[in-house]
Amino acid sequence: MSVAFVGRRTELDALASLVRRARLERAPTAALITGEPGSGKSSLLGELLRRAAPLQTIRVAGFEPMQAVPLAAVADLIRHLAKAPGDGAVLDRLVFRGPEAEDRDPLRIFEAAHRALASEGPMLIAIDDLQWVDERSLALIHYVLRA
């Protein structure tokens, strides 16, 4: 069952405007939604993602019990990028298919993710519960934003 999104029009409009500007300027952009627990931040983010079509969107979510697992928060992003033409196969091999003894060098993973993302075109990466995102996932997001 879907619930209608109510309120937060000013914030939603500001975020939608930021997404439009980022697409026009073809530049990475970041926004931070803050507030008390239960104030509707996740709902606002979800509504933004629903309205972002046809832009590709990926939701990254931190989860406290998974905070110690490297790349746990960006697992959906990595799975998506691993299917991208070209460097997606490199990313897939580095993260999922390589021999167990193969070095899981973060820089190689980050660069393969960046190249796969570049081949995918514009994408909205939304992060929910940032405080619980693991360090390696934060590093990957930082890398692709700067690259």
122: left (phi over 0), alpha (psi -120 to 50) or beta: beta
pTM: 0.83
Give the pLDDT of residue 103: 65
Provide the pLDDT for residue 112. Answer: 95
Q: Looking at the predicted structure, is the pLDDT value of residue 8 above 90? A: no
Q: What would the pLDDT profile of 95-121 be if each residue is shown by its tens digit?
A: 988 666 456 789 999 999 999 999 988
Residue 68 CB coordination number (10 Å): 9
Radius of gyration of the chain (CA): 16
Summarize the confidence of residues 15-42 as an average pLDDT: 86
| 88 pLDDT higher than 90 | yes
Q: What is the pLDDT of residues 61-83, one digit of tens each?
A: 999 999 999 999 999 999 999 99
59-62: long-range pairs with CB below 8 Å, 24+ = 59/126, 59/127, 59/128, 60/125, 60/126, 60/127, 60/128, 60/133, 60/137, 60/141, 61/127, 61/128, 61/129, 62/127, 62/128, 62/129, 62/130, 62/131, 62/132, 62/133, 62/134, 62/137
Average pLDDT, the chain: 87
Give the percent of the chain with pLDDT over 70.
Answer: 92
| pLDDT classification of 31: cutoffs 50, 70, 90 | confident
